[in-house]
Amino acid sequence: MKVIYDPETDTLMIYLRDERIKESDEVRPGVIADYGYDGGIVSFELLRASKVVENANEMQFAVGA
């Protein structure tokens, strides 16, 4: 998984897997889901991320047991 924040466009990209994107759909206002050729989700894009995510340029990562 990879997360990239672009402050110029105020966009947060969350990549779940490294696959080619077949289509994209705005599933909620400002949230775009990208789907692969197998129909599974490849990534999410959050528009206006600084309005939705606290400290969009910082990240904490936790793995549960």
Per residue in 7-63, pLDDT (tens digit) is: 999 999 999 999 999 999 999 999 999 999 999 999 999 999 989 888 767 777 778
Q: What is the pLDDT of residue 65?
A: 64
Q: Of all residues in the chain, what percent are helix, strand and coil, respectively (each to 5)?
A: 5, 45, 50
Helices (H), the chain: 49-52
As for how many domains the chain has, the answer is 1
Residue 21 belongs to some domain of the structure: yes
Instruction: State which residues form the domain around 32.
Output: 2-49
Residue 55 belongs to some domain of the structure: no
The number of beta carbons lying within 10 Å of the beta carbon of residue 46 is 20
Residue 43 belongs to some domain of the structure: yes
Cα gap 15→65, rounded to integer Å: 22
The structure tokens listed for 12 are: 């947060």
Residue 23 belongs to some domain of the structure: yes
Q: What is the pLDDT of residue 62?
A: 74
